[in-house]
C-alpha cells in the first residue's frame, strides 16, 4: 500500500488506495464507482473473495500478485510483469492492457445445498485439501520460521506437510458424479487421493492440473487423482507418460455426492468449516480481467 501511495503522491498514478475490509468489501467496491480500472493486491484467496463481487459492476480489473502460489497471475500472463521494486511497470501495462471475460464459479453445499461459496481457480476434495488445511495451521504456529525464507520457505513447509498427509493416507471417499443432470459412469466410485474442479490450469504455484482448461469459457474440468504419482504435473507442470490426473469431463454444472464428508479446499485455502457430503458446482458471474499478451 505504501508503494502505491508513493506513486500517487508523485503523480504517476491517479486513484486511491484502500486496505481490503473483507466483511465490508461490497461497500468498498460500491465506493469505487467512477473509476475505470480497479487493481486488487493479494493472493489467490483474496481474488477468490473479491472477484465475484466485482463482477456485478462493469470494472476492468487487474491483479497484483502478492501471495505464495499466485496461480491466477500465472494463468493470466501477468506474473512475469510484477515486481514490488518496480510497480510502475505493471501499472503502465494495465493502463493499456486488453481485457478478457473471466468466468467465476460457485459451489453450493450442505444437505439441502443451502450454503454457497464462490471460487475462481479451483475447488478440490481429498489429499491436497488436507495438505492445504494442515499447512495453514503450521504457518500460524508461533515457532514457524520458514516464512523467513520467503515464498520458497513456504513451499518447503507445504511439502513437509504434504509428506505427513501422505503417511496418514488422507483421501476423499468414493463419490457419485452427475454432469448436466446426467449420472456419470466414472472412476470416482472408489477412494481417491483427490477430486478437483479446475477453472485454470495453473495449480499450487508450481505446476498444471490439465492441458486444455480455460477460465474464459463457461465450462469447468473435473479431474481425479487415484495414484500418488498422478500429482506430479501439479508439482512440475510436466505430463509424464500416464502419471497425470484423469480427466472426467468438462461441464457448466456438476453435482458431487460423497459417502463421507471430505477435506475441502477453495483456491488454495483449506475450508475446515465446510462439512458436507453434497456439492453442486455451477457457473457464477463473469468479470473483465486485464490480461498479459499470452494468458495461459
Query: DSSP code of 79?
Result: G
The residues, ordered by sequence, that sit 6+ positions from 289 with a Cβ below 8 Å of its Cβ are 51, 60, 61, 62, 63, 76, 99, 100, 101, 102
Written as tens digits, the pLDDT of the chain (296 aa) is 566 666 656 666 666 767 777 778 778 777 777 778 888 888 888 888 888 888 777 788 999 888 878 899 999 999 888 887 787 788 888 888 899 999 999 999 999 999 999 999 999 998 888 888 777 776 677 676 666 666 666 667 667 666 666 655 666 777 888 988 777 766 566 667 889 999 999 887 778 888 888 999 999 999 988 887 888 887 777 777 677 888 888 999 999 999 899 999 999 888 999 999 999 999 999 999 999 876 65
Dihedral sign of CA atoms 267, 22, 43, 285 in order: positive
Q: Residue 16 is placed in which grid cell? A: 486511491
Radius of gyration of the chain (CA): 19
Question: Can you list the domains of the chain with their CATH numbers?
Answer: 2-102 (3.40.50.10330), 104-137+170-284 (2.60.200.40)
Are 47 and 267 a contacting pair, CB within 8 Å?
yes
Amino acid at each position: 500500500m505504501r508503494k502505491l501511495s508513493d506513486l500517487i503522491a508523485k503523480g504517476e498514478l491517479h486513484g486511491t488506495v484502500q486496505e481490503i475490509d473483507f466483511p465490508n468489501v461490497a461497500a468498498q467496491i460500491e465506493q469505487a464507482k467512477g473509476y475505470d480500472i480497479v487493481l486488487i493486491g493479494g493472493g489467490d484467496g483474496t481474488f477468490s473473495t473479491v472477484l465475484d463481487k466485482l463482477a456485478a459492476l462493469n470494472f476492468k480489473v487487474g491483479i497484483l500478485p502478492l501471495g505464495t502460489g499466485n496461480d491466477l497471475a500465472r494463468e493470466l500472463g501477468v506474473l512475469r510483469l510484477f515486481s514490488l521494486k518496480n510497480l510502475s511497470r505493471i501499472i503502465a501495462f494495465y493502463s493499456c492492457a486488453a481485457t478478457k471475460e473471466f468466468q467465476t464459479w460457485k459451489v453450493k453445499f450442505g444437505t439441502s445445498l443451502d450454503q454457497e461459496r464462490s471460487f475462481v481457480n479451483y475447488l478440490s476434495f481429498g489429499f491436497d485439501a488436507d495438505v492445504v488445511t494442515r499447512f495453514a495451521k503450521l504457518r500460524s504456529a508461533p515457532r514457524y520460521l520458514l516464512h523467513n525464507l520467503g515464498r520458497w520457505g513456504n513451499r518447503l513447509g507445504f511439502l513437509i506437510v504434504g509428506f505427513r498427509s501422505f503417511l496418514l493416507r488422507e483421501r476423499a471417499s468414493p463419490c457419485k458424479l452427475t454432469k448436466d443432470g446426467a449420472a456419470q459412469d466414472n472412476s470416482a466410485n472408489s477412494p481417491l487421493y483427490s477430486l478437483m474442479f479446475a477453472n485454470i490450469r495453473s495449480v499450487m504455484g508450481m505446476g498444471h492440473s490439465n492441458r486444455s482448461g480455460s477460465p474464459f469459457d463457461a465450462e469447468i474440468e473435473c479431474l481425479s487423482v487415484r495414484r500418488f504419482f498422478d500429482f506430479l504435473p501439479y508439482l512440475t507442470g510436466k505430463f509424464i507418460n500416464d502419471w497425470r490426473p484423469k480427466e472426467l469431463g468438462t461441464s457448466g454444472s456438476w453435482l458431487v455426492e460423497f459417502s463421507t464428508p471430505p477435506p475441502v479446499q477453495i483456491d488454495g485455502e483449506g475450508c475446515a468449516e465446510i462439512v458436507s457430503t453434497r456439492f453442486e458446482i455451477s457457473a457464477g458471474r463473469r468479470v473483465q480481467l486485464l490480461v498479459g499478451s499470452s494468458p495461459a
